[in-house]
């Protein structure tokens, strides 16, 4: 089998077939591509903090930020089945949405239950944890494991902890699950002077992340 010269008519016919096969091919002189439809453009735009506050019906939290409870277990644990620091019966578990934005922060506080944080959207959150013996750790909650982020993090009962977004020009949306379930009787907001007295080595951090 050998090749041969192609006649002009055959060449033109071949070009027409190619244009039919590849109708979307862009060549010089073609009209510009169509704009992205408005509804797709809106979907691609990043959501703002206010979008999530409105969409999820979040309200101001006493420790800072915004929240809404999303789950309360139907089951409870009797007092005798709980650790000694919990003074009465508690639900098995509770959960909330929690949002931080800008310079807003969640002030140092502690719970009588463990709290598991889950990252959902936005930029990383820095969780600052002070152990009862004064030890300190920082957890970076976020979506990029290559940057050291974790998608979930647990803060154990009795630890003082505070949080804020790493970039004050952004926000972060997370979830918090407490077990045994959250009760405001188990919530203690840290007092600046008392925390500084207990943990003088963390004075700067405590003064930054408390409100009194």
Q: Does the 48-73+88-187 domain belong in CATH 2.60.120.10?
A: yes
Instruction: Give the pTM.
Output: 0.78
What pLDDT does 142 receive? 98
Provide the residue ranges of all domains of the chain, joining segments of one domain with +. 48-73+88-187
C-alpha dist (Å) from residue 25 to 17, 22, 33, 48: 13, 6, 11, 37
Closest residue by Cα to residue 105 from 209, 177, 207, 189: 209
| Token reading at 26 | 């862009």
Residue % of the chain over a pLDDT of 70: 79
Residue 5: which pLDDT band, with cuts at 50, 70 and 90?
very low
How many angstroms separate the CA atoms of 158 and 188, rounded? 10
What pLDDT does 62 receive? 84
């Amino acid at each position: 089998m050998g090749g041969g010269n192609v006649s002009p008519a055959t060449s033109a016919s071949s070009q027409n077939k190619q244009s039919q096969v590849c109708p979307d091919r862009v060549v010089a002189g073609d009209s510009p591509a169509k704009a992205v439809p408005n509804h797709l453009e809106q979907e691609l735009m990043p959501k703002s903090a206010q979008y999530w506050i409105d969409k999820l019906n979040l309200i101001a939290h006493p420790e800072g930020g915004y929240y809404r409870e999303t789950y309360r277990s139907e089951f409870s644990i009797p007092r005798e089945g709980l650790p000694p620091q919990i003074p009465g019966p508690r639900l098995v578990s509770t959960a909330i949405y929690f949002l931080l934005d800008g310079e807003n922060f969640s002030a140092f506080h502690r719970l009588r239950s463990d709290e598991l944080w889950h990252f959902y959207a936005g930029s990383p959150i820095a969780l600052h944890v002070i152990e009862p013996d004064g030890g300190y750790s920082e957890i970076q909650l976020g979506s990029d494991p290559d940057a050291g982020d974790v998608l979930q993090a647990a803060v154990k009962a009795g630890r003082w902890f505070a949080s804020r977004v790493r970039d004050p020009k952004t926000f972060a949306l997370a979830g918090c699950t407490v077990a045994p379930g959250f009760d405001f009787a188990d919530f203690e907001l840290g007092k600046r002077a008392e925390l500084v007295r207990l943990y003088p080595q963390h004075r700067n951090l405590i003064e930054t992340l408390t409100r009194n």
